[in-house]
Amino acid sequence: MSQILNADLHCHSVVSDGTLTPEALAERAARNGVELWSLTDHDEVGGQHRAAAAASAHGMKYLTGTEISVTFAGETVHIVGLGFDPDDAAVSEGLHDTRGGRGKRAQEMSDGLARVGIHGAYEGALRFVGNPELVSRTHFARFLVEQGHCKDTSEVFRKFLTEGKPGFVPHRWASLKDAVSWIKGAGGLAVIAHPARYRFTANEEYALFVEFKAHGGEAIEVVTGSHTPAEYEEYADKALEFDFAASRGSDFHSPGESHCDLGQLALLPGRLTPVWELLEHRLR
Ligand code: AMP
Ligand code: MN
Ligand code: MN
Ligand code: MN
């Protein structure tokens, strides 16, 4: 385990807002030299058995994964769960409830876009959805790019889908406490995803780390496709300061959209405890 270097513990399939199947992701990960892999679809575990089987077919070790949407201090925070039982009833129910508001939110997003002259966005986004329970902003972004409103999905988020923009609808997700307790209750480990991406003040980030730890959270992502190399160093120091283990994952969504491919990130800084060292007993 400790000899594993190329772990990629964060990516998305068609079961959430990625464009590849779990099998195609496994093949791509293996081709890129990934030794330990996890599929972490948003608020879903529907792809877990397929991902684990595909990992095994390609000779990779596998950890169960998900990325749970949480509301903390008025901001959406993502908590990655690793190494839990994918068939746990409390996890299924908790994630089902977390997905629950997405349909109505999508209708409201579409209404907001219609007010600025973009019509049919709900139906349009649905054409890009692989899982009807998981309509995401990403699917709207793909529709708006297809319709020529923007050149890429980043531009759609900037102009239409972030706070204050016409397609943004505030939403209340799971609580931090619940998300961590679902993962831990099913034998897994909770990780704060891409901590540098939240628009928190230093005090708010401190509160997030302290509360997360108090609920039993054990790790943060340090090397992720959503961090810059300077942020790897900044959050490596914070992992040590708060005594968190460190995770590594590309957050790969799609060959055409993601700038960081599976398994092609920098290695974790050597001074950190890799999260997989704490999950040896949960490998599949
Ligand atoms: P949702 O869960 O529906 O709010 O959608 C969140 C997803 O949108 C994230 O997981 C990313 O895949 C995507 N996303 C968020 N911000 C951006 C951005 N600035 N550019 C591209 N994709 C983004
Ligand atoms: Mn996503
Ligand atoms: Mn995320
Ligand atoms: Mn993600």
Query: Is 243 exposed, middle or buried (CB count within 10 Å of its CB: 0-12, 13-18, 19+)?
Result: exposed
Which ligand 1 atom sits closest to the C-alpha of 76? Answer: 4
Q: What is the distance between the alpha carbons of residues 189 and 174, in angstroms, rounded to a whole number?
A: 17
In this predicted model, what pLDDT tens digit does every residue of 148-164 receive, in sequence order?
A: 999 999 999 999 999 99
- The pLDDT value recorded for residue 142 is 98
pLDDT over 90, % of the chain: 97
Per-chain mean pLDDT for the chain: 97
User: How is the chain split into domains, by residue range?
Assistant: 7-88+186-282, 102-161
State how far the alpha carbon of 218 is from the alpha carbons of 177, 192, 223, 278, in Å: 13, 9, 16, 9
Q: What mean pLDDT is predicted for residues 240-245?
A: 98
Q: Is the CB of 157 under 6 A from ligand 1?
A: yes
In this predicted model, what pLDDT tens digit does every residue of 251-281 receive, in sequence order?
A: 999 999 988 999 999 999 999 999 999 999 9
In this predicted model, what pLDDT tens digit does every residue of 24-44 receive, in sequence order?
A: 999 999 999 999 999 999 999
Q: Is the CB of 253 under 6 A from ligand 1?
A: yes
Residue with CA nearest ligand 1 atom 12: 138
Token pair of 250 as six digits: 């590309």
- The pLDDT value recorded for residue 4 is 87
Residue with CA nearest ligand 1 atom 4: 137
The CATH architecture that domain 102-161 belongs to is Orthogonal Bundle (1.10)
> Coil, strand, or helix at residue 11?
strand
Which ligand places an atom closest to the C-alpha of 196?
3
pLDDT over 70, % of the chain: 99
Residue 15 has pLDDT above 60, yes or no: yes
Residue with CA nearest ligand 1 atom 11: 138
- The pLDDT value recorded for residue 2 is 54
* 12 CA distance to ligand 4 middle (Å): 6
Which ligand places an atom closest to the C-alpha of 158?
1
Q: How confident is the model at residue 62 (pLDDT cuts 50, 70, 90)?
A: very high
Q: How confident is the model at residue 1 (pLDDT cuts 50, 70, 90)?
A: low
Q: Is the CB of 42 under 6 A from ligand 1?
A: yes
- The pLDDT value recorded for residue 165 is 98
Which ligand places an atom closest to the C-alpha of 137?
1
With beta carbons less than 8 A apart as the criterion, state whether 179 and 143 touch: no
| pTM beyond cutoff 0.85 | yes
Q: Is the CB of 138 under 6 A from ligand 1?
A: yes
- The pLDDT value recorded for residue 102 is 98
Q: Is the CB of 137 under 6 A from ligand 1?
A: yes
Q: What is the distance between the alpha carbons of residues 201 and 164, in angstroms, rounded to a whole number?
A: 19
- The pLDDT value recorded for residue 120 is 98
In this predicted model, what pLDDT tens digit does every residue of 192-226 receive, in sequence order?
A: 999 999 999 999 999 999 999 999 999 999 999 99
What is the CATH number that goes with domain 7-88+186-282?
A: 3.20.20.140
The number of residues making up the chain comes to 284
Residue 50 has pLDDT above 80, yes or no: yes
Instruction: Return the bridge partners of 82, or none.
Output: 65, 189
- CB count in 10 Å sphere of residue 87: 12
